[in-house]
């Protein structure tokens, strides 16, 4: 995969919700076509964020695809509602979903892309049996629940392992990383095998214009060494 194919996915968790429409428009103006919406329930993670009304409002505005990351207990109960609200990608956590393969299949039946996520302390093998059932593999590079956390380098080996399994099996799942991504860590994630970079604070809370922040991330990606199955 070329560096041009590495996708930057801004997370609105760090956006100014009083100016959310303007923040999304700034992202769109920078040539970004997808944003991530982090949904938290205060149970699976120690925080509460947004829900269906925000997804519905963003879908009405249009112009960007909505990658909805469900950091909630029993996510399978909610995939129908979030796809109905306008999600184009729905990612559920392996740790939270007892019947993971069935839930991923349901997301696809509804016409959305299916994602499966792992927390930093969860091993890659939790997803090994469902790699053919996912469109996105999400590796959390911080413990989920709050934006602005420091990137955990220990997660890079897991990123590489999952990318290698996808490559060796001829699958097409994207390898997405989320947490602490910015200048200095985006390159490391890409070299480990990430094909999608979720960035929140680096895009919306870094004290620079959104377009400049995205340009800095793209420059970091361009400077990365190409991924290799024998590297890591």
d(CA 11, CA 8) in angstroms, rounded, equals: 10
Q: Are 11 and 206 in contact (CB under 8 A)?
A: no
Does residue 67 have an active-site annotation? Answer: no
Query: Environment class of residue 2 by beta-carbon count within 10 Å: exposed (0-12), middle (13-18) or buried (19+)?
Result: exposed
Q: Is 38 a catalytic residue?
A: yes
3-state secondary structure of 157: helix
Instruction: Measure the CA–CA gap between 212 and 218, rounded to whole angstroms.
Output: 10
Question: For the stretch 140-157, what's the b/e string if a residue is b when 16 or more beta carbons lie within 10 angstroms of its beta carbon?
Answer: bbbebbbbebebbeebbe
Write down the catalytic residue from 41, 80, 178, 212: 178
Q: Say which of 38, 41, 67, 133 is annotated catalytic.
A: 38
Q: Strand (E) positions, 43-163?
A: 65-71, 89-93, 113-118, 136-140
Provide the 3-class DSSP secondary structure of residue 21.
Answer: helix
Q: How far apart are CA 101 and CA 122, in angstroms?
A: 17
Cα 161 from chain centre: 18
What positions carry a catalytic annotation?
Answer: 38, 178
């Amino acid at each position: 995969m070329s560096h041009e194919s590495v996708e930057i996915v801004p997370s609105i968790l760090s956006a100014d919700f009083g100016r959310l429409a303007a923040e999304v428009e700034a992202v769109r103006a920078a040539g970004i076509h997808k944003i991530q919406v982090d949904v938290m329930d205060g149970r699976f993670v120690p925080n509460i964020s947004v829900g269906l009304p925000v997804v519905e409002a963003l879908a009405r505005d249009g112009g960007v695809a909505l990658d909805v990351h469900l950091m909630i207990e029993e996510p399978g109960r909610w995939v129908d509602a979030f796809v109905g609200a306008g999600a184009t990608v729905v990612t559920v956590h392996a740790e939270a979903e007892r019947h993971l393969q069935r839930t991923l299949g349901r997301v696809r039946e509804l016409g959305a892309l299916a994602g499966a996520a792992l927390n930093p302390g969860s091993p890659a093998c939790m997803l090994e049996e469902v790699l053919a059932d996912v469109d996105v593999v999400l590796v959390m590079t911080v413990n989920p629940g709050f934006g602005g956390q420091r990137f955990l380098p220990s997660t890079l080996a897991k990123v590489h392992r999952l990318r290698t399994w996808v490559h060796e099996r001829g699958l097409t799942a994207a390898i997405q990383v989320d947490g602490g991504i910015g200048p200095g860590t985006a390159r490391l994630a890409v070299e480990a095998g990430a094909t999608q970079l979720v960035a929140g604070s680096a895009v919306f809370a870094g004290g620079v214009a959104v377009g400049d922040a995205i340009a800095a991330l793209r420059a970091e990606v361009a400077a990365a060494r190409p991924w290799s199955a024998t590297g890591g």
